């Protein structure tokens, strides 16, 4: 490659809001349920039905906008975006084009290259589409409107990112912020957070932007990174061959690591936006903005500082735990119950993170109750179970959210503190391993470790290791 290129990336991020009901009707947004069980005349596009705006959607959108340093549009409206597709029951989507609720924000990201601000062009509210299932046998598509009308915000960034690393840092920042607000769980794999990547390349030093493409269907950070790399190279190859990049929407196939253009002559991409006549304008007062501001939660930076100060956690631990709202909530709740914040932190930083990695899970996927972790800590602190058993019980908590006290009792995992019982076990071990006993008595102090281990094994791990040590020394 003779020339050097720079990649220019902007993101359109769709986030499904965590409201109980849809944006324009009283249908539940709950997952599951038979196809079309959560539908009504409004979200199924019946003739004569009319939308009414869910107030919580506006409040979530404002909260996200304020967190992203946006200005709130005091007088905003909804518009109709017209296009035909079966997942869209009205064949128009109610969205915001002319007066989006939030504008001109920015979020700070941090990468290996340092800190950087990514500007937010706008955030607007809109409705989600239904789900299409492709029925191979019937050679048709099946339409389920359960997701139709679920509220979304679309966060549109400026083309401020230059690498996949920055894109991922930006998405992680947005996700953390929105999770802290409780406005969404932001799961890429479940579609509650979806990122479309607008990407162009230009020669280094050139100011004008190149022609961009929009990449859709990116369901994980890994897919995003791969798609960015692939699209960057595709565009550079085109330019190097003297060809032009065509402005188009492309769909990423992560299995084939390949994207293709989603073009059709029946798809004119002329959305004929106009103000939605069925909804009245939104006028957002200063008081309302202040009220939302006053309800903003403690975000990650403040929470991290507080953990260091209040609980004495090391910087690194505080950062990891506050990096996920769910993990932070878990920490605080468990710490409040057992009053041992450092122990809680240890369990989260150690075993929890190990198990998450092992099972390729996100902290948001943790399902155990803080009370069960707190109880486990109390059991270990009281010496009722030893460390080995505790790890085993924790895995059970992690998998099935069991009550550790009940589990320990049922499985008979309580530490044996009965000196008589331990003595009998040790005598048997000494009898079975005369060589080790001999070695110890001849000054090989290390041999005691082997004997302790054998005793623990014989006691099925339930022995109190301190007592085993003490009794062994006496007998030897």
Partner 1 sequence: MGELEKKQGKHIISDETIEYVGILAKLELSLEEKEHAKKDMEEMLDYIDKLNELDTAGTEPMSHVFPVNNVFREDVVTNGNDRENMLKNAPEVKDGSYQAPKTVE
Partner 2 sequence: MKEIRTFTAVQLAEKIKQKEISVAEGVQASLEQIRSVETEINSYVTLDEEGALKQAGEVQKKIDSGELTGPLAGVPAAIKDNICMEGMLTTCSSKILGNFLPPYTAEAVLNLKKAGAVILGKTNMDEFAMGSTTETSAFGITRNPWNLNHVPGGSSGGSCGAVAAGECFYALGSDTGGSIRQPSSFCGVTGLKPTYGTVSRYGLVAYGSSLDQIGPVAKDVTDCAAILEAIASYDSKDSTSLNREDTEFTSALKDEIKGMKIGIPRDYLGEGLEQDVKTSVLAAAKALEEKGALVEEFDLSLVEYAIPAYYVIACAEASSNLARFDGVKYGYRSKEFEGLHQMYKKSRSEGFGPEVKRRIMLGSFVLSSGYYDAYYLKALRTKALIKQAFDRAFETYDVILGPAAPTTAPEIGKSLRDPLKMYLGDIYTVSVNLAGLPAMTLPCGLDAKGLPIGLQLIGDCFQEKKILQAAYAYEQTREWKSSPAAEQGIKGLKEKNMFQSVSEQEVGA
Q: Applying CB under 8 A, which residues contact partner 1?
A: 19-21, 25-28, 33-41, 44, 46, 52-58, 77, 82, 84-87, 132-135, 138-145, 265-266, 268, 270, 272, 274-275, 277, 279-283
Which two three-digit tokens encode residue 281? 């304008």
Q: Which does 33 bind (CB under 5 to 8 A by kind): partner 2, partner 1, none?
A: partner 1
List 31, 209, 260, 274, residue binding partner 2 (CB under 8 A): 274
Residues paired with residue 132 on neighbouring β-strands, in sequence order: 143
Number of residues that this document lists for the chain = 476
* The binder of partner 2 chosen from 3, 20, 272, 444 (CB under 8 A): 272
Coil, helix or strand at residue 138: coil
341 binds, among partner 1, partner 2, none (CB under 5 to 8 A by kind): none
Q: Which does 474 bind (CB under 5 to 8 A by kind): partner 1, partner 2, none?
A: none
Task: Give the binding range for partner 2 (CB under 8 A) out of 88-96, 214-222, 299-307, 354-362.
Answer: 88-96
Which residues are 11's β-sheet partners? 197
Instruction: Return d(Cα 3, Cα 237) in angstroms, integer.
Output: 11
Is 46 a binder of partner 2 (CB under 8 A)?
Answer: yes
Q: Which is nearer to partner 2, 277 or 420 (CB)?
A: 277
Complex with partner 2: residue 51 or 370, whichever CB lies closer: 51
Kindly list the distances between the CA atom of residue 18 and the CA atoms of 192, 280, 289, 348, in Å, as whole numbers in the listed order: 9, 24, 20, 26
Task: Please state, as a whole number, how many other Cβ atoms lie within 10 Å of the Cβ of residue 415.
Answer: 24
d(CA 389, CA 393): 6
Q: What character string, x for contact with partner 2 (CB under 8 A) and - otherwise, covers 250-269?
A: --------------x-x---
CA distances from 279 to 54, 94, 115 (A): 11, 10, 42
In the list partner 1, partner 2, none, the entry touching 50 (Cβ below 5 to 8 angstroms by class) is partner 2
Residue 48 touches which of partner 2, partner 1, none (Cβ within 5-8 Å per kind):
partner 2
Binding part of the chain for partner 2, among 112-120, 202-210, 271-279, 450-458 by CB under 8 A, reads: 271-279
* 414 contacts 425 by C-beta, under 8 angstroms: no
User: Nearest approach, Cβ of 463 to partner 1 (angstroms)?
Assistant: 54
d(CA 364, CA 324): 7
Give the span between the Cα atoms of 220 and 204, in whole angstroms.
Answer: 29
Instruction: State the number of CA atoms in the 13 A half-sphere of 138 facing the CB.
Output: 6
Binding residues among 49-68 for partner 2 as defined by CB under 8 A? 49-53
Give the integer Cα–Cα distance in Å for 244 and 404: 64
In sequence order, what are the beta bridge partners of 198? 10, 214
Residue 316 binding target from partner 2, partner 1, none, CB below 5 to 8 Å by type: none
144 touches, from partner 2, partner 1, none (C-beta below 5 to 8 Å by class): partner 1
> Distance between CA 173 and CA 168 in Å, rounded?
8
Nearest distance in Å: CB 275, partner 2: 8
* Pairing outcome for strands 282-283 and 140-144: unpaired
Cβ atoms 279, 90 nearer than 8 A = no
Name which position in 5, 60, 92, 170 contacts partner 2 (CB under 8 A). 92
The tokens describing 191, both together, are 């579609």
Contacted by 45, from partner 2, partner 1, none: CB < 5 to 8 Å by type: partner 2
Q: How far is the CB of 50 from partner 2 (least distance, A)?
A: 5
Binding-site residue total for partner 2 (CB under 8 A)?
A: 31
Among 23, 27, 44, 397, binds partner 2 (CB under 8 A): 44
Q: Which of 32, 75, 84, 208 binds partner 2 (CB under 8 A)?
A: 84
Q: Of 55 and 446, which CB lies nearer to partner 2 in the complex structure?
A: 55
C-alpha–C-alpha distance, residues 103 and 86, integer Å: 31
| Nearest-angstrom CA–CA distance, 346 and 353 | 10
Q: Which is nearer to partner 1, 209 or 274 (CB)?
A: 274
Q: Chain-centre distance of CA 247, in angstroms?
A: 31
Measured between alpha carbons, how far is 114 from 165 in angstroms, rounded to an integer? 11
Give the one residue of 91, 359, 424, 428 binding partner 2; rule: CB under 8 A. Answer: 91
The residue ranges that bind partner 2 (CB under 8 A) are 41, 44-53, 80, 82, 84, 86, 89-92, 141, 143, 264, 266, 270, 272-274, 277-280
């Amino acid at each position: 490659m003779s020339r050097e290129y720079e990649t220019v990336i902007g993101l359109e991020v769709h986030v499904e809001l965590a409201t109980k009901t849809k944006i324009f009707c009283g249908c539940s947004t709950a997952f599951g349920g038979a196809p079309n069980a959560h539908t009504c005349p409004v979200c199924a596009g019946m003739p004569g039905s009319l939308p009414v705006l869910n107030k919580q959607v506006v409040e979530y959108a404002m909260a996200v906008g304020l967190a992203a340093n946006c200005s709130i549009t005091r007088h905003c409206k909804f518009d109709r975006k017209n296009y035909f597709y079966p997942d869209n029951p009205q064949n128009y989507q109610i969205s915001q084009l002319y007066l989006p609720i939030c504008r001109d924000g920015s979020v700070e990201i941090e990468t290996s290259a340092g800190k950087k601000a990514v500007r937010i062009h706008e955030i607007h509210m809109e409705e989600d589409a239904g789900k299409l299932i492709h029925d191979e046998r019937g050679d048709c598509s099946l339409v389920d409107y359960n997701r139709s009308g679920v509220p979304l915000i679309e966060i549109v960034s400026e083309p401020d990112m230059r690498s996949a690393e920055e894109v991922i840092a930006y998405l992680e920042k947005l996700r953390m912020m929105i999770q802290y607000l409780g406005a969404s769980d932001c799961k890429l794999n479940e579609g509650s957070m979806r990122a479309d990547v607008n990407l162009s390349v230009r020669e280094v030093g050139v100011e004008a932007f190149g022609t961009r493409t929009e990449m859709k269907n990116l369901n994980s950070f890994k897919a995003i990174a791969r798609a960015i790399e692939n699209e960057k190279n595709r565009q550079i190859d085109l330019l190097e061959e003297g060809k032009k990049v065509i402005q188009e929407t492309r769909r990423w196939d992560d299995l084939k690591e390949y994207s293709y253009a989603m073009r059709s002559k029946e798809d004119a991409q002329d959305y004929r936006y106009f103000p939605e006549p069925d909804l009245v304008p939104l006028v957002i007062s200063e008081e309302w903005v202040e009220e939302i501001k006053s309800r903003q939660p403690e975000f990650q930076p403040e929470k991290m500082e507080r953990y260091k100060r209040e609980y004495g956690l090391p910087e690194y631990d505080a950062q990891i735990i506050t990096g996920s709202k769910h993990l932070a909530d878990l920490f605080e709740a468990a710490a409040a119950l057992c009053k041992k914040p450092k122990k809680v932190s240890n369990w989260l930083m150690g075993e929890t993170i190990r198990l998450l990695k092992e099972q390729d899970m996100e902290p948001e996927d943790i399902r155990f109750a803080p009370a069960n972790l707190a109880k486990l800590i109390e059991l270990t602190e009281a010496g009722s179970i030893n460390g080995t058993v505790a790890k085993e019980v924790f895995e059970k908590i992690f998998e099935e959210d069991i009550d550790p006290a009940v589990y320990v009792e049922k499985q008979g995992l309580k530490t044996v503190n009965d000196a008589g019982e331990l003595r009998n076990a040790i005598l048997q071990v000494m009898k079975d391993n005369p060589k080790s006993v001999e070695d110890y008595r001849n000054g090989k102090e290390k041999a005691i470790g082997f004997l302790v281990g054998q005793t623990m094994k014989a006691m099925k791990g339930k022995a109190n290791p301190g007592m085993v040590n003490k009794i062994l020394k006496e007998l030897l």
